[in-house]
Structures are given as structure tokens and as C-alpha cells.
Amino acid sequence: MITHWRSVLPHLVYDLPPDLTPETSSGAVTAGLPLELVRQSVSSKEFWEIPEPVLERYRSYRPSPLWRARRFEEEVGARVPIYVKYEGGNISGSHKLNTALAQAHYYHRAGFRELVTGTGAGQWGTALAAACAAFGMTCTVFMVGGSLRDKPYRGSLMRLFGAEVHASPSTLTEVGQSGAQANSLALAIGEAVEYAAADPKRAFCIGSGETYSILHQTVIGLEAVEQLPEPVDVVVGSVGAGSNFGGIALPFFARGSGERLLAVESSATPKLTRGVYAYDHTDATGTGPVEAMYTIGSSYGIPPSHSAGLRFHGAAKVISAMRHHGQVDAVAVGQRTALEAARVFAMSELVLPAPESGHALAAAIEVATSGVAPGDAAAAGGAGGADGKARQGVLVCVSGHGLLDLSAYDRLLAGLPEDALADEEALRAAVSGLRRV
């Protein structure tokens, strides 16, 4: 068992840009944040002991398995080994439970008894519902309405743990009734922020973009470092806001072994590949903290797709800063390519990935076969070869299972429509008023 999380902050040669507080902010988002989570976001301390109540829950599903996907390698024609770190073997079906348990522990210890959140594909909502039940707390979830309709059993699973689940946009909040960004995770988060602020006994809780949530995910990479039987030179993870990618990749960065760190996003929300590095809201209310991030604009109308949990407009501030400083590489993958890669993985390895993980698998195929994944050359000083190709091997994080995402695979088998490219004019308009970093 890994007993400590490892922070990447001491290994950066720069400070993260400070958050801004807009004039319209009520301060409700950050006022209730437990002090320990604040410390984990700003301290130069490297190793953080995992609290025993959290570690006790981790023991039911950690360490998670890592294996060499030999049949997958054969199927795709890989020239180097492909290792898979699998995070789908817990009740939430994803890596999200790692931080949900930690946050529920800290919020409970701080005196809160209800946590409120927004979720896209539902993995985070499921994880938080389970974590709240584990620590005797109430949970309220606003889930992107389109995703909830496609995956109704995600809602069932949350309700099984006692959570209240609302399709977003809802009629419970003013931002929900505004009718803007109907398919947006930013809107669901905005509803959660507003709903939580209405009662001092509630706290808003977020599962991906914050530095402390990425810290909690480092158990993934720390385990992988111990489990790998041989070196790899490319580490791949998908990016919604960044917790999965950060969890698998940042422990490798912290030990300074020089792997190429490849963040894979959806072409529907191409913040790291087509966005700008600027100050933007993390939600759709315009009242929360403004963070330095790679963003396509919180006002951008994200088109419907099966990229699910990757459909967020911005990347985490620590991932964004590392991208800005050339320490992280990034590529974007379309939903058809992602789902096809996931289908091949399921057929060869008998494990069905979540659609989000299909994006990472698609990029892993590219670097293990034909060379560099579409997009940048290697960012980290030529790691993985001057051309971005894997020379030793690839490690990819399959961050969750797809057993509740079968509607996406049904549509793939029926001839999923071609991906709609992000609209260049709309992207420019959405970021035009943002303050650049």
C-alpha cells in the first residue's frame, strides 16, 4: 500500500499564478474549504501522509492492477510494450474515488454534513456519493442532463448511496434556469456552487481541477512506479480537467526520470491544444475563483459528444502551468477514434474502458506504432525520442470502466456520426475578453 501522496509543487521551478477573486464573488466557493486541502494546494511539502480513515477505505481496492497488454499490442501492431494501469475496479468505476474519499474525510472533520457537486459523465458524482455514505454525509449531485439521459444507471447508483441527483440544467437554481450551455459541465458545476451557497451547512466539492485533488490521485502513479517491471519513456493519460493525467504522470515527473508526459483531450474541448493560457472561471456562474488555465472559455458552447467527463472548458492550473513551461505534451482525439480504440482494447484484453480512457488508448496506439501522437512533438526536452516516438514502452492509464457507457458503444456500432470540429470563430469569441497569463 502507498501510504503517502506526493506533491509535484516542490519540483517546479516556478510558482503557480495566484487565483483571482472576481468582484461578483460571494467567497462561498472557498470559504468552507478545509484548511488541510488549502495547505495541500500551496505548500512546498512533498509527501503527505494519507489519513488512516482514508487508507482503510483504499485497502478495499488498492493497489489497482497494472499489466502488459500483450494481446492489445499484437492487435494494433505496437513496436514497444504497452502497460496499462487500471482504475475501474472500485464501486465508482473510476479513479475519482481516490480524491472523493479524501475530500469527504476532510470536509466531515471540518464539520460539514452535506457535499454538493457537479458531474459530467457521472463517475465523480458516483464516487462522491459513495464517499459521503462512507463518512455519514448527505450528497447532492447536479449531472449534465444529456449524460444522465444516456447513462440513467449512473443516477441509479448515486441514489443507491442516498444521493439526490438532479439533471442539469435544473429549475433549482438561477443559473440552471438561465438556459445557457445546456450540455456543459461548467453549468452543472455552476448549479452546484449556487445550491451549496444557499445553506451554510453545505459545502461545494470538486473532483478534478484543484491541486489537492490531483495530489490525492498520485497514488496511481506511485503504485505504477513500483509495479512496472521495466522502464517506459511515454506516460499517457486523458484530460478533462486533469486529475487522471496528473495522477499517473506527475509522480514520474517528480522523480525526474525524463518520461514524455502526454495529456490527451477531446477534440470537442481542445483547451490544451487550441485554447489560450488565461484567467477564466471554473464554472458558469461567474462568481467562483478565477484561475490561470488553458481554456477555450467558460462561455464556449460545448457540442454534445461521448467524450463525457472530458467535456470541460479548462485544464487544472498545475497541468496548465506545466504545459506552459513545456513540461507536458498534449494531443486531441475525436470521439469515433477514441471509442474505436476502446473497442479494440475490450476485444483484446476483455476489459471495457470508459470513453474517456479511449482517448488515452488512441494516443497510446499512435506512440507505440507509427510514432508521435497527432499534435505536438515531444515537449519535455525530447523525452520519448526526438520525434516523440516511444523507444522503451508506453504506460497508459485506463481511468475507468465503460459498463455504464454502453449507449456510446451502441452508437459506435451503429455508425456514430463524424465528429463536429470545434468552431474556430466561436473559440476566438469565447476567449476574446480573457486576461492572458
Q: Select from 87, 89, 170, 165 the least CA-distant residue to 126.
A: 165
The predicted structure's pLDDT at residue 99: 98
Q: Check: CB of residue 271 under 8 Å from CB of residue 313.
A: yes
| pLDDT value, residue 431 | 96
pLDDT at position 362 over 90? yes
pLDDT band at 349 (very low <50, low <70, confident <90, very high): very high
Q: What mean pLDDT do residues 15-29 have?
A: 70
pLDDT of residue 135: 98
The fold for domain 57-93+210-423 equals Rossmann fold (3.40.50)
| pLDDT at residue 378, rounded to an integer | 39
When pLDDT is averaged across residues 346-367 and rounded to a whole number, the result is 97
Q: What is the pLDDT of residue 320?
A: 98
Q: Which amino acid is at 173?
A: T
pLDDT in tens, 381-415: 334 555 667 899 999 999 999 999 999 999 999 99
Per-residue model confidence (pLDDT) at position 321: 98
Which of 14, 424, 90, 50 lies closest to 212 in space, CA to CA?
Answer: 50
Q: Please name the helix (run of DSSP H) or strand (run of DSSP E) that holds residue 263, with its range, or none.
A: strand 260-266
Of 270, 302, 308, 348, which is closest to residue 93 (Cα–Cα)?
308
pLDDT of the residue at 57: 98
- pTM of the entire predicted model: 0.94
Locate 257 and state its grid cell. Answer: 526520470
With cut-offs at 50, 70 and 90, classify the pLDDT of residue 285: low
Cα dihedral 183, 127, 263, 64, rounded to 10, equals -150
Q: CB of 311 within 8 A of CB of 300?
A: no
Quick: pLDDT tens for 305-319: 777 678 889 999 999
Q: Does residue 213 register a pLDDT over 80?
A: yes
Instruction: Read off the pLDDT of residues 254-277 as tens digits, 9 standing for 90 and up.
Output: 999 999 999 999 999 999 999 999
